[in-house]
Structure formats: structure tokens, C-alpha cells
Amino acid sequence: MPEGAESGYVQQQDVLTNDELLTLLREVFIPCGFTRFRLTGGEPLLRPGVVELVRAIASFSQTQDLAMTTNAFLLATMAQDLYDAGLRRINISLDSLEPETFDRIIGNRGRSRWQKVWNGIQTAHKVGFDPLKLNVVVIPGVNDHEVLDLAALSIDREWHIRFIEFMPIGNAGLFTDKGWVDSEELRQRIRDRWGLTEGQVRGNGPADVFQIPGAKGTLGFISQMSECFCDRCNRMRLSADGWLRPCLLNETGQLDLKTALRSGIALADLQAGVQELLAAKPAINYKMRDSGTTGAYSRTMSQIGG
């Protein structure tokens, strides 16, 4: 969370309980055709009962895929339990291999957190998460000088490094006016050093995947700024406080499922509302593609779980 950014904490009573979330999955989303789920954040490992939640979602016969995005700060002590509960795919945010740069990016003003995150990554690797993806948001003048070092992590390990174009949405302080680095520029740097071929990795994300020749892992490039993929997006976001949104960056058409559920509205009516929002999603996708995604947005990425 960048220094100066507001957190916007949600009170516990305003968050969907595990039982409420599982009810929505079982009675609303799965009947609407959802079979692939990702637990993200904020930070999902802070959620009480997250291991039990993973176990319950993994146990649904309709679940075809279950993944998690985490900052890995708590992962070293939880990785084995999560794996045993049925989680197999994991994405970890790692924007720098330099502890000082890492702490600067996350806005840490106390004890360094880099080593604990690195320990979490190492533990996840040993436990057997496959694929294990590391997400790197590339920010010019901050961590773009580390691109080759980060790419090299994929050579001797079955790790999948994903370089993400920075989206300057509502951020302050460190990120003000930093801009972003084009994915093709990053690919060219890597080509000049090792060469680059097309690659493949299991998953459902928007990354264009490449591979250093002979490497065990892959390199992915998520190019929302230079190659907008809004019109190809097939994801819906259910926030911790129960709002269903067809787009991470657009609150148009959002649906308040928590209030509806707690008010006793029939589950069939909730299904109908979700279906209606699904039907509207393509138009929202194309609108986002045509208008861009970095306009006036009141919240930061750390608030919306980017």
C-alpha cells in the first residue's frame, strides 16, 4: 500500500461470512455456470477460516479450478495447510528482489517484510504448488532495472514470472506520474540477453506467455495499458463486502448481493440478478476498452484488490 494511500478498512460485520459466501457459490454462482474461482484481496490469508473456505470450495464437484493471489507474508506457515485443503495454483506479488525497494513499494516504514515474503515463496515451491506464479508490477525508475534479474528466476525453477504494466489508478506518493513500461520493451530487453520463444502455462489469465530458451519456467506479460484486453475479459469480481462487479475498474451495474441475501430475497431472484449482470458484461467490457481504464477512479489498487 503506497505511502499516503487510504486503506478504507471494512468492518467485520460488513464482510460476507464464510457460510454466506459458500451459499452464494453453491446456490447462485455455480447454477449460473461459474466453475473457476480465485481468492484474492486485499490479502486473503488475513481472512479468518480461509483454509476451511478453500477446502469447502475445492470439495464442490463443479469446481474445475481454484487459485489464490497473495502477498505471501503469511504463506510460510499456511502453505501446507492450503495445499492439503485442495489449493493447487497460487499467484504471489513480488515487485522487487531488493529488500529496500520492496519495502519502499509496499509503503513499509518498520521492519523489512521482504525476507518473510521470500520465505513464503520458497515454502510454496517446496510444498508443490504448480503453477507458482510471481506477479511483478513494473514501475519506471523504481524497479524496472530488475527485470532481467526477475526474469532469470524462471531459468532454473518451474516458476512463472508475470510482468504487469503499471496502471496509475488513484495512487499517490511513490507512484505519482511514474507512468508505465511497455511490455514489448521488456520483452526486447530479455530477447537481447537470452532470446525469447513462445511458451505455455496453465491458467485463465490475460498474460501473453513466453519462455527463455531452455528455461524450466515461463515469462508472462500482462499489457493492459499498451494492448487493452477489456473486450476479452471473462471475469466477475465479488468483493469481501458482497458487491458483485463485472469489472475491477468500473462500478457500473454492480449488484449488492450481501444486502439481498441478508434481507431474505429468494436465491432464484439472486440468480436472475447475476444472469442479468453477466448479460450486460460484454457491453461494459467494450466500453472500458474504447474509453481506457485509467480515468477518474476514486480508489487505489490497494483498495480494490488489483
The long-range contacts involving 264-269, CB below 8 angstroms and separated by at least 24 positions, are 267/23, 267/27, 267/28
Is 285 inside any structural domain?
Answer: yes
The pLDDT profile of the chain, 306 residues, written as one tens digit per residue, is 555 555 556 777 889 999 999 999 999 999 999 999 999 988 999 999 999 999 999 999 999 999 999 999 999 999 999 999 999 999 999 999 999 999 988 877 667 899 999 999 999 999 999 889 999 999 999 999 999 999 999 999 999 999 998 876 555 555 555 577 899 999 999 999 999 999 887 766 778 999 999 999 999 998 877 777 677 788 899 999 999 988 877 666 789 999 999 999 999 999 999 999 999 887 766 565 565 554 444 555 556 555
Q: Number of folded domains in the chain?
A: 1
> Contact, 168 vs 292, CB < 8 A?
no
Pairing of strands 218-222, 237-238: unpaired
Is 214 inside any structural domain?
Answer: no
Q: Which domain holds residue 255?
A: 1-34+236-306
Is 98 inside any structural domain?
Answer: no
- How far apart CA 136 and CA 95 sit, in angstroms, is 5
Encode 203-230: b = buried (16+ Cβ within 10 Å), e = exposed.
Answer: bebbbbbbbbeebebbbbbbbbbeebbb
Q: Backbone phi, then psi, for 204, in 5-degree steps?
A: -130, 20
- Find, among 145, 224, 139, 223, the residue nearest to 179 by Cα: 139
> Contact, 61 vs 89, CB < 8 A?
no
Strand partners, 134: 92, 161
H helix runs in 86-168, sequence order: 99-106, 114-127, 147-151
Is 2 inside any structural domain?
Answer: yes
Strand partners, 91: 69, 133
H helix runs in 152-251, sequence order: 183-193
Is 118 inside any structural domain?
Answer: no
Pairing of strands 197-198, 89-93: unpaired
- Find, among 231, 225, 228, 224, the residue nearest to 281 by Cα: 231
- How far apart CA 259 and CA 15 sit, in angstroms, is 11
> Contact, 93 vs 70, CB < 8 A?
yes
Is 122 inside any structural domain?
Answer: no
- Our CA dihedral for 187, 189, 191, 197, rounded to 10 degrees, sits at -20
Which pLDDT does position 305 carry in this prediction? 57
> Contact, 97 vs 159, CB < 8 A?
no
Is 251 inside any structural domain?
Answer: yes
Predicted structure pTM score: 0.88
Which pLDDT does position 295 carry in this prediction? 43
Is 63 inside any structural domain?
Answer: no
